[in-house]
């Protein structure tokens, strides 16, 4: 029933982007496809949980720019020297490219030319969520996305919400992509895992202080330079309580003002979003279920068709 419900929501909410997508998409053309991706991701996450956080973030960053089409993976070329991965929101902080490369290499040996890089990115985000949550976030994901041929650095600034956005700006940026306020609050919960550069929140620990918890601000000041630069911009964990676990601790941190970004703190600045924060913090299992649903919904953004997409065969880093 869960698969049916998600597919129905896909048809009703994002019919135009669901064309060609279905569950078990590779059941005939490449039966082990999802298993292969999950195996590669599991190995990487066991070695370094931070890579898993990077893969979840990559799924989000890919979908918000040019849709879920693996455009974030493309390397610079003479024709296109400034692709998405060099945009300020992605470089140098976005991680996990080597995991996608490894999964693609295995898939090309087993099923040449069958599995798109766009699907690998979304499967990898799903599988990283599964391992980092202690197997609590587990959901089926439709496949059949095609890989895009366009990747532009300047679009990362236009579509990826930065950490200093206020609530109104966040809601607008999500609405543009067909996502609602609940999706915003739920997907923000991914900040319970991974690390952040000091430059992303340095304004919140400067003088005069923001609403950030004083104890946390004191700790962060010891870890971060007063004026971070590109060459001196350390990283810190985003969740000081359970830094390597994908869970609902983020929402408890929001309520205690122990979060890094203005975008995190802004969730308390309306009754609607503050109520959702409380529900995700204290209703057992609610956030995990909602996160799975929101990740599926996000994975359907602006999916490419045969007219403007392809399946990259040589590498996820170059168009055919």
pLDDT in tens, 92-123: 999 999 999 999 999 999 999 999 999 999 99
Res 2 pLDDT > 80: no
Q: Residue 12 — pLDDT band, cuts 50, 70, 90? A: very low
Total number of residues shown for the chain? 320
pTM above 0.85? yes
Question: How many whole angstroms separate alpha carbon 146 and alpha carbon 101?
Answer: 17
**Active-site residue, 61 included:** yes
Res 215 pLDDT > 60: yes
Res 207 pLDDT > 80: no
Q: Looking at residue 19, what is its pLDDT?
A: 58
Report the percentage of the chain scoring pLDDT > 70.
93
Q: Give CA separation, 247 vs 116, 132, 227, 229, in Å.
A: 29, 8, 32, 31
Q: Looking at residue 206, what is its pLDDT?
A: 85
Of 61, 191, 197, 257, which one is the catalytic site residue? 61
Report residue 248 CA to chain centroid gap.
16
Report the percentage of the chain scoring pLDDT > 90.
91
Find the helix or strand (DSSP H, E) in which 165 lies: none
Res 250 pLDDT > 80: yes
Quick one: average pLDDT of 180-201?
A: 97
Q: Which residue has the higher pLDDT, 18 or 42?
A: 42
Copy the structure tokens of residue 223: 């870890």
Res 277 pLDDT > 90: yes
Q: Looking at residue 14, what is its pLDDT?
A: 47
Find the helix or strand (DSSP H, E) in which 72 lies: none
Residue ranges of domains in the chain, CATH in brackets? 2-6+14-160+298-310 (1.10.520.10), 167-292 (1.10.420.10)
Quick one: average pLDDT of 37-55?
A: 97
Q: Looking at residue 210, what is its pLDDT?
A: 85
Average pLDDT of the chain, as a whole number: 93
State yes or no: cis peptide before 250, omega within 30 of 0: no
């Amino acid at each position: 029933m869960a698969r049916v419900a998600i597919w129905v929501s896909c048809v009703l909410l994002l019919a135009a982007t669901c064309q060609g997508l279905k569950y078990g998409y590779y059941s005939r053309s490449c039966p082990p496809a999802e298993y292969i991706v999950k195996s590669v991701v599991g190995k990487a996450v066991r070695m370094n949980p931070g890579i898993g956080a990077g893969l979840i973030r990559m799924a989000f960053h890919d979908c918000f720019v040019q849709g879920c089409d693996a455009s974030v993976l493309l390397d610079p070329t003479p024709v296109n020297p400034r692709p998405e991965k060099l945009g300020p929101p992605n470089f140098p902080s976005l991680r996990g490219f080597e995991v996608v490369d490894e999964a693609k290499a295995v898939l090309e040996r087993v099923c040449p030319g069958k599995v798109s890089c766009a699907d690998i990115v979304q499967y990898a985000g799903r599988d990283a969520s599964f391992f980092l949550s202690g197997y609590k976030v587990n959901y089926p994901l439709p496949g059949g996305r095609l890989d895009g041929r366009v990747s532009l650095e300047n679009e990362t600034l236009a579509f990826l919400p930065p950490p200093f956005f206020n609530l109104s700006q966040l809601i607008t940026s999500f609405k543009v992509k067909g996502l609602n306020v609940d999706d915003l609050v739920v997907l923000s919960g991914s900040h319970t895992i991974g690390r952040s550069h000091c430059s992303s929140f340095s304004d919140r620990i400067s003088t005069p202080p923001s609403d950030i918890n004083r104890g946390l601000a004191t700790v962060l000041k010891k870890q971060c330079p007063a004026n971070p630069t590109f060459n001196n911009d350390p990283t810190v964990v985003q969740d000081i309580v359970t830094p390597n676990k994908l869970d609902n601790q983020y929402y408890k941190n929001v309520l205690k003002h122990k979060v890094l970004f203005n975008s995190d703190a802004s969730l308390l600045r309306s009754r609607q979003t503050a109520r959702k924060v409380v529900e995700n913090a204290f209703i057992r299992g609610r956030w995990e279920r909602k996160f799975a649903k929101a990740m599926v919904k996000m994975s359907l953004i602006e999916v490419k068709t045969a007219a403007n997409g392809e399946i990259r065969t040589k590498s996820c880093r170059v168009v055919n």
